[in-house]
Chains A and B, each alone.
Chain A
Amino acid sequence: MATKEKILSNRLDASGKTAREINEQIRELITAGEKEIRVSNPEARHNLAVGILACVSVVFEGSVGYYCGGMIDGAELEVLGSAGWGLGESMLSGTIRVRGNAGNSCAASIRGGTVVVHGSVGARAGISMKGGLLIIERDCGYMAGFMMQKGIIVICGNAGPALADSMYEGRVFVGGEIEELGNDAVVKEPDDEEGKFLRENLGAWGISVEHPFKKVVSGRRLWNFDRQEMGLWREAL
């Protein structure tokens, strides 16, 4: 009986509530010591579970709107539907797993943690990433990894145009076709260690690796300005 009550008490029905009310109730449950929270009827509302700094698991039983899990530090989020724009923006650590698709700018500027999208994502995925891992099981739109500074993006399907444009550091792995490389992006062969890393990390999320991956890194020609390479700069800017 006690167990049953506990299951009921960590469930939160979001229908009819504002994003602020939902987030406040999630925080109240965390303060009360809950470690696993399930939110029903999220109805794609924005800013859900932003800024959670506790090691807690939150499951959304439906789609979420913009900026879900933004700035979290340590939480484990799971979305049983799709996510809108800016998924997990600027997160520090923790995991966000989306069963459906995610919109533009997923994992933008993340500093750490892992974002896994089992469907496809829109444009500008992992833009300006500063660490962490972004795994996309299917395809991504244009400019994934634009200006990324650190971290790893794994795209199991096809990548859109301008992939890894003007990136500083970090690595992008692509299992499918690359429509077009961005400025100063260079394709390399992953080494054995990287192959192992991919198998282990994808396997951990139940994603099978069928094709050999290509690795895309910075060509570093945009790191320093060189008058000799004016053409390259004109193209990039």
Chain B
Amino acid sequence: MCGIVGYLNKSATAEPPVGDVLFRLLTPLGRRGPDSAGVAVFGRSREPNYILRIKLGERGEFEEKGKAVGERLRPLGVVHEQQIFAEYLRVVIGPVSDAENLDREVESLADGIELVSLGHQLEIAKHVGSPANLEESYHIRAISGTHGIGHTRLSTESRVDLSHSQPFWARGVPDLATVHNGHITNYHKLRRQYEQKGYRFYTENDSEIIGIYLRDQMAQGCTFEEALWSSVEDLDGSFCYLAATASSLACVKDPFALKPLMVAESDEFVAVATEEVALRAVFPNDLQVIEPGAGQVRSWSIATCAVEKV
């Protein structure tokens, strides 16, 4: 099972708060994935600064550790903002000289910390439990932005904890995140290949490989769109996944259409969800909802000129 949702405001305005839309889309899908919930939201660009969301530990309060990590971040760049809420340290830092290796720098600061998301716009909040728990812990409804993706997880293969929850940031690529519903059956084979190439995996969750796949394809010169299309052939198993970048949202369906995904689109926005029930809970009845066919890729972009308005 698992439930995935996505929302993109084509006009790039930040109203309504994308966090609120994602939360309301996710809630009806809670029963598809009671193990964990998460969102990846793209807000106002902080370029040249980076927004870091750092996991300090699995569960509990990490005030002291957060402060210590915050202190140790200072040599890497100017820290503009620093907040700690429960398991997360959120930092806005920059400019950073070596963004490529920022994750390694950060993770070497203390034991058990993990960079959950990095980007000029991207912020990921995820944890075990329901969408309601996520809202309670991190107040996701108030997060504004132009677009985002969300996930409710029913774990089938790997551990239930914060790290194994989705969305996954495509490590190494700022502002790229994925959510996945399904099962990538050639995960172990692909993972061995990528590990030989030097990619590091943080979880045993097969969904993590999608971001790494996209990163690797783009490193070889593919455009984002090309990488999405080639994934239909290169990933095996059942999947519907969403990938979001700083300016776009895309959905990909496996060649056998083994997982559902519904799309509702108007002139102002596009919303996607595993089940129509989620879209109907948020949008009026007359909005047409369609299901992309087997092996299809669809993507939507925010007009680049409009991004400035955020």
Once A141-B257, A141-B294 are accepted as A-B contacts, the answer to whether A82 and B277 lie under 8 Å apart by CB is: no
A44 with B256: CB separation less than 8 A: no
* Additional pairs, 16, CB under 8 Å, beyond known A46-B277, A63-B276, A160-B293: A43-B277, A44-B275, A44-B277, A44-B279, A45-B277, A63-B289, A65-B275, A66-B275, A81-B285, A82-B290, A84-B260, A101-B291, A103-B291, A123-B257, A123-B293, A160-B294
Q: B294 and A142: CB pair below 8 A?
A: yes
Point out the residues of chain A lying under 8 angstroms from B281, CB to CB: 43
B280 interfacial by beta-carbon distance below 8 Å: yes
Check: A132 CB closer than 8 A to any chain B CB. no
Q: How far is the CB of B256 from chain A (nearest CB, A)?
A: 7
CA gap between A146 and B280 in the complex, in Å: 31
Is the beta-carbon distance between A123 and B276 smaller than 8 angstroms?
A: no
- Residues of B with Cβ closer than 8 Å to A? 256-257, 260, 275-277, 279-281, 285, 288-291, 293-294
Neighbour of A63 across the interface among B280, B293, B294, CB < 8 A: B280
The distance in angstroms between the C-alpha atoms of A66 and B276, with both chains bound, is 10
30 interchain pairs, CB-CB under 8 A: A43-B277, A43-B281, A44-B275, A44-B276, A44-B277, A45-B277, A46-B277, A63-B280, A63-B289, A65-B275, A65-B276, A65-B277, A66-B275, A82-B276, A82-B290, A84-B275, A84-B276, A85-B260, A100-B288, A101-B291, A104-B257, A104-B291, A122-B257, A122-B291, A122-B293, A123-B293, A141-B257, A141-B293, A141-B294, A142-B257
Q: Which 7 A/B pairs are nearest by Cβ-Cβ distance?
A: A44-B276, A43-B280, A44-B277, A44-B280, A123-B257, A62-B285, A141-B293
C-alpha gap A84/B59 in the complex (Å): 38
Q: Please, which residue of chain B has its CB at the minimum distance from the CB of A140?
A: B293
**Distance from B84 Cβ to chain A, minimum over Cβ atoms (Å):** 38
Separation of A104 and B279 alpha carbons in the complex (Å): 18
Minimum CB distance partner of A40 in chain B: B285
Least CB separation from A81: chain B residue = B285
What's the minimum C-beta distance from B123 to chain A, rounded to whole angstroms? 30
Q: A-side binding surface: helix, strand, loop or mixed?
A: loop
Give the residues in chain A near B289, CB-CB below 8 Å. Answer: 44, 63, 82
Question: Quick check: B256 and A123 within 8 Å, CB to CB?
Answer: yes
Report Cα–Cα, A41/B288, bound state, in Å: 15
Alpha-carbon distance between A81 and B288 when the two chains are bound, in angstroms: 9
* A contact residues, total (Cβ < 8 Å): 22
Task: Provide the A25-46 mask, 1 if CB < 8 A to any CB of B, else 0.
Answer: 0000000000000000101111
How far is A141 from B260 in the complex, measured between Cα atoms in Å? 14
Chain A: minimal CB distance from B277 (Å): 4
- Min CB distance, B286 to chain A, in Å? 9
Q: Which single residue of chain B is at the shortest CB-CB distance from A45?
A: B277
Instruction: Report B-chain residues with C-beta under 8 Å of the C-beta of A66.
Output: 275
Q: Which A residues lie within 8 Å of B285 (CB)?
A: 41, 62-63, 81
Contacts of B293 in A (CB 8 A): 122-123, 141, 160
Q: How far is the CB of B284 from chain A (nearest CB, A)?
A: 10
A160, B294: Cα distance in complex, Å: 10
* A101 and B294 within 8 A (CB): no
Which B residues lie within 8 Å of A81 (CB)?
Answer: 285
Complex-state Cα separation, A41 to B280, whole angstroms: 9
B127 to chain A, nearest CB (A): 27
**How far is the CB of A81 from the nearest CB of chain B, in Å?**
7
B280 to chain A: which residues have CB within 8 Å? 43-44, 62-63
Give min CB distance, B215 to chain A, whole Å. Answer: 30
Determine which of B257, B260, B275, B290 lies in contact with A101 in the assembled complex, contact meaning CB atoms within 8 Å.
B290
A82→B275 CA distance, assembly (Å): 12
A46 to B290, CA, bound (A): 17
Docked Cα-Cα span, A63 to B277, in Å, equals 9
Within the complex, what minimum Cβ distance (angstroms) separates B238 from chain A? 12
Q: A104 CA to B294 CA in the complex, in Å?
A: 10
Give Cα distance in the complex from A137 to B260, angstroms. 22
The smallest C-beta distance from A222 to any residue of chain B, in angstroms, reads 21
Taking a contact as CB atoms under 8 Å apart, the answer to whether B260 and A104 are in contact is yes
Q: How many Å from the CB of B100 to the closest CB on chain A? A: 42
Residues of B within 8 A of A142 (CB): 257, 294
Chain B residues with Cβ under 8 A from A65's Cβ?
275-277
| Residue of B277, B279, B288, B290 with highest tally of chain A CB at under 10 A | B277
Contacting residues of chain A (76-119) with chain B, CB-CB under 8 angstroms = 81-82, 84-85, 100-101, 103-104
A residues less than 8 Å from B291 (CB atoms)? 101, 103-104, 122
Q: How far is the CB of A146 from chain B (nearest CB, A)?
A: 12
Q: How long is the Cα–Cα vector from A122 to B290 in the complex, in angstroms? A: 10
